Amino acid sequence: MSLRGKAVLVTGAGRGIGRAIAVAFAEQGCDVALAARSADELAETAQAVRAHKQRAVECVCDVAEPGEVARMVYEALTALGGIDILVNNAGYACFKPFVDLTLEEWRRTLDVNLTGAFLCTQAVLPSMMARRSGRIINISSVSGLKPIVEQSAYCASKHGLNGLTATLAMELRPYGIAVHAICPGGVDTQFSRDAMPDRDKTNWLLPEDVAHAALYLSMLSPRATTDTLLVRRFDSTPIGG
Ligand SMILES: NC(=O)c1ccc[n+]([C@@H]2O[C@H](COP(=O)([O-])OP(=O)(O)OC[C@H]3O[C@@H](n4cnc5c(N)ncnc54)[C@H](OP(=O)(O)O)[C@@H]3O)[C@@H](O)[C@H]2O)c1
C-alpha cells in the first residue's frame, strides 16, 4: 500500500527515533509536521524531510502543555490540510530507585509520555473522525510490557500508554481509525545514552529500525491491524523467554 501524499505528524521529531520516523515517511512521499521543543533540531529534521522533496512543517511545542499542543496541531492541520497519521513519540525518562524518585520527576514522566499522547490525540482526533479515517502510532517501550527495576515511573507511563492504545483501538474502530503501539527494546539514541550511560549499546537497535516498524504498520491492509508491535534486538531474549 502506497503512502504517497499522506500527511504525518510526528512528535519528538527533533532527533532519535522521531527524526528517523519523519525521514522514513518523507522517503515514502509523505509531508510531515514535526513537533519538539528545540527549534534547531527541528530545523535539521525539516531539512532532511525536504531533501526528499516533501513538505516539512516545524512546530516548536512541549507536548505536556495543552495550549502549546492545541496551537501545534492547528498549525499542522492548516499547513498540511489534514493529518492522516499521528505518531506520538515524544518521551522522557528518569531512571532511579523508586525510593529516590521525586514527585516532580514522577509527574514529568507521566505528563510527557502519557498526558502528551492524550493531548495530541485529542487535538488531532476531531479531524480524523470527520474524515472517518486515520492512524495513530504510539511509541511505547518494552517497559510498557514488563517491569524493569529502577524504571518505575517510566514503566507506569508506558504501561498506561499501552492501555490507552488498546482502548482507543476499540473506541475508534467505528470511525475507521487504527491505533497501534510500537514497543522497542533498547535503541541507541541520546535518550538511552543519558538514561543508561553505563550500558554497552553494541548491537542495540537504531532509530531506523523503529521507523521501519512505523512504516510497516502504516502499510497494513485496511482488513488487518496489529495492536502492539514489539521490536527487540536480534540477540535479546523474547519477553517471557
Ligand atoms: N531510546 C530507547 O532505548 C527507547 C526504547 C524504547 C522506547 N523509546 C521511546 O522512544 C521515544 C523517542 O525516544 P528517543 O530514544 O528517540 O529519544 P531522543 O533521541 O532523546 O529524542 C526525543 C525527542 O522527543 C523530544 N521531546 C522530549 N520531550 C518533549 C516534550 N515534552 N515535548 C515535545 N517534544 C519532546 C525531544 O526534543 P526536545 O528535547 O527538543 O523537546 C526529541 O526530539 C520515547 O517515547 C521513548 O520513550 C526509546
Catalytic residue at 154? yes
Assigned C-alpha cell, 184: 522497542
Give the residues across from 178 on adjacent strands: 135
DSSP-derived secondary structure letter, 97: -
Query: Which candidate in 74, 92, 154, 175 is catalytic?
Result: 154
Give me the percent of the chain exceeding a pLDDT of 70: 100
Order of strands across the sheet that contains 7-11 = 56-60, 31-36, 7-11, 85-88, 134-139, 177-184, 228-231
DSSP-derived secondary structure letter, 237: P
Mean pLDDT computed over 172-180: 98
Confidence of residue 240 (pLDDT cuts 50, 70, 90): confident
Overall pTM > 0.95: yes
Mean pLDDT computed over 55-69: 98
From ligand 1's centre to the CA of 125, what distance in Å?
A: 22
Place of cell 526528499: 52
Nearest CA, atom 24, ligand 1: 12
From ligand 1's centre to the CA of 113, what distance in Å?
A: 9
Query: Is residue 94 over pLDDT 90?
Result: yes
Which residue type does 21 have?
A: I
pLDDT at 1: 82
For the CA of 191, the closest atom of ligand 1 is 20
Distance between CA 45 and CA 52 in Å, rounded?
11
Mean pLDDT computed over 162-191: 98
pLDDT at 241: 83
Query: Is residue 73 over pLDDT 90?
Result: yes
For the CA of 140, the closest atom of ligand 1 is 7
CB-based burial, 170-207: b 16+ in 10 Å, e otherwise: eebeeeebbbbbbbbbbbbbebbeebbeeeeeeebbeb
Distance between CA 136 and CA 113 in Å, rounded?
15
pLDDT at 21: 99
Distance between CA 177 and CA 199 in Å, rounded?
38
Nearest CA, atom 20, ligand 1: 191
Query: Among residues 138, 158, 139, which one has the least CA distance to residue 148?
Result: 158
From ligand 1's centre to the CA of 16, what distance in Å?
A: 7
Mean pLDDT computed over 50-69: 98
110-159 residue pLDDT tens: 999 999 999 999 999 999 999 999 999 999 999 999 999 999 999 999 99
Query: Is residue 8 over pLDDT 90?
Result: yes
pLDDT at 45: 99
Assigned C-alpha cell, 122: 485529542
Place of cell 522497542: 184
User: What's the maximum distance between 2 C-alpha atoms anywhere in the chain?
Assistant: 50
Query: Is residue 26 over pLDDT 90?
Result: yes
Ligand 1: which residues within 6 Å by Cβ?
11-18, 35-38, 41, 61-64, 89-92, 112, 139, 141, 184, 186-187, 189-192, 207
Specify the length of the chain in residues: 241
